[in-house]
Amino acid sequence: MTAKPWATALLSRSIQRSVRGGLAGVWVRGALPTGGAVLAPNHHSWWDGYVLREVARWAGAPFSVLMTARQLGRFPFLRRVGALRADEVRAGVRRAQAGWLAVFPEGALQPAGPLGTVAPGAAWIAQTAGVPLVPVALRVTLRGGQWPEAYLRFGPAVAGPALPGAIAHELAALDAELAGSDPEQPLAGYLRAVPGRLSRSDRVDWAAQLLTVVTGDRA
């Protein structure tokens, strides 16, 4: 594919606008990789690849992702922003050595819920590339606001055989945090990496506060 920097920049900005316009924000918890790594998240939302890419941008890490042949065939232009076909594992090894490579070990998109069957590809790429294998729990969920919120919980790097249990552990912890939280507040202990869209109620709150100051009315 002939390099067209303007097309890549345009697509990158489009993804950024999509995340910031369609979500209330993206929050992260845990130690993010500082060099090359394979990220192994669950895959239960359409937003997952976009969210991971925007977190990588925020962290200053080059980003690539393995996609199914069917999905990449539908959206071949995503190659311009780091997408690889799932069987391009040798290219994946090189990308993992240079930055973050996201590999969804469940394969295709799964229904939201518990972790599905974990394939060995992510572990193989990490071992071959000589980089950390990082389990990631990822939820995009509608809570107390108008727009969905994305939360990522990064676990410590693990060896390949421990990956299924490590992802399941992080996912269970994130689900417990969501279940026990105030839905009108971001999760405690998470840092907002990407801003998003304000709910109508938030915009009304600002207007109401301004009107209160102007009029001097108090409840």
pLDDT for res 200: 81
Q: Where are the domains of the chain?
A: 23-215
Residue 7 banded pLDDT, cuts 50, 70, 90: confident
Answer whether 57's CB lies under 8 Å from 41's CB. Answer: no
Taking the C-alpha atoms of residue 61 and residue 57, their distance in angstroms, rounded to an integer, is: 6
Give the percent of the chain with pLDDT over 70.
91
Predicted model pTM? 0.89
On the 0-12 / 13-18 / 19+ scale of CB atoms within 10 A, 28 is buried
Taking the C-alpha atoms of residue 4 and residue 8, their distance in angstroms, rounded to an integer, is: 6
**What b/e readout covers 87-98, taking b as 16+ CB neighbours within 10 angstroms?**
ebbeebbebbbe
Is the pLDDT reported for residue 41 higher than 80?
Answer: yes
The closest alpha carbon to 102, from 59, 149, 148, belongs to 59
pLDDT for res 43: 97
Q: How confident is the model over 158-207, as pLDDT tens digits?
A: 999 999 999 999 999 999 999 999 999 999 999 999 999 998 877 655 55
Q: How confident is the model over 192-203, as pLDDT tens digits?
A: 999 999 988 776
